[in-house]
Amino acid sequence: MKTHFLRRAWSRSGFTLIELLVTISIIGVLATLILGASTAARKRADTAVCLSNLRQQSAVFAIYAAENDGSLPAALGNVDPYNSGTLVSWMMVVQYYAQMNFPKDRQRNILLCPSAMQTYPGKVARRTYAMNVAGGAGNTPQKLARFTKPSTTALVVDARAVGTAGDSSSTFGLSDINTTPEWRHQGALNVLFVDGHCQTMPASAKTDFQRYVQNFAP
């Protein structure tokens, strides 16, 4: 009797093949759910970091304007603060005022959107934003006071890579409004406006975005 009881107890102590397969399936489903939640959380965090970058850029622009008669740096054609013999884009001005070294690939800085790591060739990214030059060539500094609609005028946006060095185009305008801005935040675009506020614009707001870009024109 005792031997029979032990044999029955032992027979119930292991998994059947069906139970094992069901358990593996449940673990697989849970892993997928956890991974999906983790990926979504990372993407939301990247979007938040990108918005923080734009806010810090806005602070740099405010400091620059305070020291330059209320003008923003030109999108292009600024005197290089490191070497007065050359002309540079607004990015170099931001680097100088933010006391940044020239960024390396994947180096955390206020000109690098972390989401660009997933969209740039070879995941090489270091400076990933473009300034609006709608209505001009971008060589002339613009005074903040001239903007009549600063809260609805796009200034800096997420931008696509140019080549494989990890940099975006430094400017964009009406002619490349559909090619340079990169809607890389799960189909959305982060935008810094002239008044200093930042916004994540969904793909459904592309018509509004075009108007915000056009508002930059003198």
Total structural domains in the chain?
1
In this predicted structure, the answer to whether residue 11 has a pLDDT above a threshold of 60 is: no
Whole-structure pTM value = 0.82
In terms of Cα–Cα distance, which of 133, 138, 142 is closest to 175? 133
Residue 154 is assigned to a structural domain of this protein: yes
Rounded to whole angstroms, the Cα distance separating 97 from 130 reads: 18
Residue 103 is assigned to a structural domain of this protein: yes
Amino acid of residue 25: S
Who has greater pLDDT, 22 or 191? Answer: 191
In this predicted structure, the answer to whether residue 131 has a pLDDT above a threshold of 50 is: yes
Residue 12 is assigned to a structural domain of this protein: no
Residue 9: band (very low, low, confident or very high) from pLDDT cuts 50, 70, 90: very low
In this predicted structure, the answer to whether residue 37 has a pLDDT above a threshold of 60 is: no
Average pLDDT over residues 73-94: 93
- Read off the pLDDT of residues 69-79 as tens digits, 9 standing for 90 and up: 999 999 999 99
Residue 6 is assigned to a structural domain of this protein: no
Rounded to whole angstroms, the Cα distance separating 218 from 210 reads: 15
Residue 83: band (very low, low, confident or very high) from pLDDT cuts 50, 70, 90: confident
For residues 196 and 173, the answer to whether their CB atoms sit within 8 Å is: no
Residue 72 is assigned to a structural domain of this protein: yes
Who has greater pLDDT, 218 or 102? Answer: 102
Q: What is the number of H-type helices and E-type strands within the chain?
A: 4, 7
Residue 5 is assigned to a structural domain of this protein: no
Residue 4 is assigned to a structural domain of this protein: no
Residue bearing tokens 């559909």: 178
Going through 112-188 in order, the beta strands assigned E by DSSP cover 129-132, 154-158, 171-172
In this predicted structure, the answer to whether residue 10 has a pLDDT above a threshold of 60 is: no
Of all residues in the chain, the percent with pLDDT exceeding 90 is 72
- Read off the pLDDT of residues 192-217 as tens digits, 9 standing for 90 and up: 999 999 999 999 999 999 999 999 99
pLDDT at 5: 45
Q: Which domain holds residue 204?
A: 18-214
In this predicted structure, the answer to whether residue 118 has a pLDDT above a threshold of 80 is: yes
pLDDT at 6: 46
